Amino acid sequence: MESNNIEINKKTYILEDKVLGEGAFGVVYKARDRNGDFVAIKKIPKNKFLVEEKTFLEFFKDDCDVIVCFKDFEEKTDYVYIVMEYIEGEELNSSHVKDIGIAKLFKTLVNILNKLCKKDIYHLDIKPANILVNKKTKEIKLADFGLACSRDKTKKKACGTPGYIAHEVLKDVKLSCKADVFSMGATLYNLLTGKILYKDWRSYGKNPYPYYDKAVENIFNIDDKYFEYSIILIDMIAIHPADRPTPLKLFELLDIPDKEITKKEKDIVEYIEFYIDDFDEDFFDSKKEYIEELLENYKKTRKIKEINKEDIKRIEKGYDIKLSN
């Protein structure tokens, strides 16, 4: 951009030098709002902008535990601008299997699939690069809805990233949320094996069976401590959608009741319990400081001003701390 400032809906943002991402559909910049808080601003040429990207982000604006939060939007003469939550962290990678733990990682990624499926949204570009991990809290969020579509507006042509695109997307047939189940399975396969399921989408589209057989072989060579997840992973990357589990079935396979996930999303005490194992002394001086940051993120993602006083007391009692006012 020519200037260090950009105005979106009469709000001025100061652009940083750092470009967070760049691709065929636009550029994502790091910026500060008028309060000095960081945001991410995506600049998209109007001829490449799909209104679904903004629409789908808005669907989660009040429920963005595991989806990047939508903040603002404006369409100008040549470009479209989307303002989103900025996440200080990195793309999902194999180191997070150990840092976060395979159980919590798997559960959070399945929760992402469940949220998408419940709203009949197909992301169609799930891959490690589009899943961001907060450096401090280790919270995981899905980003980039640039290729997404809904059940009533199916893509007319193949899209996504080789190695993560489901076979039915390559064949341009009717889609379901199981296309994203495949992509998430391919993502987990990459994290656990260090390999990409396939690199040549044309070859995979013509004959996926050798790639699947090789992937199964690699999965069975994964560390034995991941065995129960390996079996689920094999089903997630199945060639035919009918052979893949739905997100709800994945909850069942992982022994996670759907109501438990919902409860963790809504109840602040459960939310703290869910993330407290990620407390890292290298980033926080005390568990109190870590909990206070979780509380701030909880308020921000749910767009609420204050936490219920009774809940604050429960947290203080449970962790033997005195929270700041």
Q: How far apart are CA 51 and CA 115, in angstroms?
A: 20
Answer yes or no: are the C-beta atoms of 140 and 275 closer than 8 Å: no
Please give the single-letter amino acid code of residue 24. A
Task: Out of 125, 144, 180, 278, pick the active-site residue.
Answer: 125
Record the tokens describing residue 276, joined without a space: 């407290």
Contacts of 211 (CB under 8 A, 6+ apart): 197, 198, 204
33 is catalytic: no
Q: How far apart are CA 309 and CA 312, in angstroms?
A: 5
Q: How far apart are CA 227 and CA 218, in angstroms?
A: 12
Q: How far apart are CA 3 and CA 314, in angstroms?
A: 48
DSSP 71: E
Buried b (16+ CB within 10 A) or exposed e, 252-285: ebeebeeeebeebbeebbebbebbeebbeeeebe
DSSP 87: -
**HSE on the CB side for 146, CA within 13 Å?**
25
The distance between the two most distant Cα atoms of the chain, rounded to a whole number of Å, is 61
Answer yes or no: are the C-beta atoms of 117 and 177 closer than 8 Å: yes
- Residue 36 zone, left/alpha/beta (φ > 0; ψ -120 to 50; rest): left
Number of Cβ atoms within 10 Å of the Cβ of 15: 17
**Active site residues per annotation:** 125
